[in-house]
Amino acid sequence: MELRAKVSAALKQAMKDKAVDRLSTLRLINAAIKDKDIAARAEGNDEGVGEAEVLAILGKMSKQRLESARAYEEGGRLDLAESERDEIKVIEEFLPRQLSDSEAEQAVADAVTEVGADSIRDMGKVMALLKSKYTGQMDFGAVGPKVKARLS
């Protein structure tokens, strides 16, 4: 099932279940996807965003909430931090399983080999390949240094 359809089905189920917090998060996800669709249509793409873009949106939303939760914890607002963590749980239901550190290392090694990268100049090619294959499955902010270390 396509991600949009999964989100819509979950939204309808949350309405039936009267799960207010879950419904709120699902509406935020839906709104973010629709915003990207509108932006894509403005650029001439009539179909809107694809699966990869939806995964990127969900990954970004999850990361934003994690940063907010950390900030709330540092500020002593544990109730707000818990609310952010609950939203992360709902968002992560739609994301693919995250790769472990060893799997991410293997993916980097495979990408370096596949691209034929031999210097730091090829880092962009390696990252592009990783993003095309593993969108939503790894944190590219953490993978970047691993690629850089392998190519140095």
Q: What is the CATH number of the domain that holds 52?
A: 1.10.1510.10
Show which of 92, 122, 139 is a domain's final residue: 92
The listed range with the strongest mean pLDDT (80-84, 95-99, 100-104, 115-119) is 80-84
Considering the domain architecture, whether residues 25 and 51 belong to the same structural domain is answered as yes
Q: Is the pLDDT of residue 14 over 80?
A: yes
Considering the domain architecture, whether residues 10 and 73 belong to the same structural domain is answered as yes
Residue pair 6/90 in contact (Cβ under 8 Å)? The answer is no
Q: How far apart are CA 53 and CA 104, in angstroms?
A: 21
Mean pLDDT within 11-18: 93
Considering the domain architecture, whether residues 84 and 13 belong to the same structural domain is answered as yes
Residue span of the structural domain in which 109 resides: 101-151
Widest Cα–Cα separation across the chain? 55
State phi, psi for 139 to the nearest 5 degrees: -90, 110
Considering the domain architecture, whether residues 116 and 134 belong to the same structural domain is answered as yes
Higher pLDDT, 119 or 37: 37
Higher pLDDT, 135 or 41: 41
Considering the domain architecture, whether residues 73 and 124 belong to the same structural domain is answered as no
Q: Is the pLDDT of residue 72 over 60?
A: yes
Higher pLDDT, 18 or 147: 18
Angle at 85 between CA 3 and CA 32, to 5 degrees: 40
Residue pair 39/61 in contact (Cβ under 8 Å)? The answer is no
Percent of the chain with pLDDT over 90: 37
Considering the domain architecture, whether residues 70 and 134 belong to the same structural domain is answered as no
Q: How many CB atoms lie within 10 A of CB 70?
A: 12
Q: At what angle do helices 140-151 and 101-115 cross, to 10 degrees?
A: 50
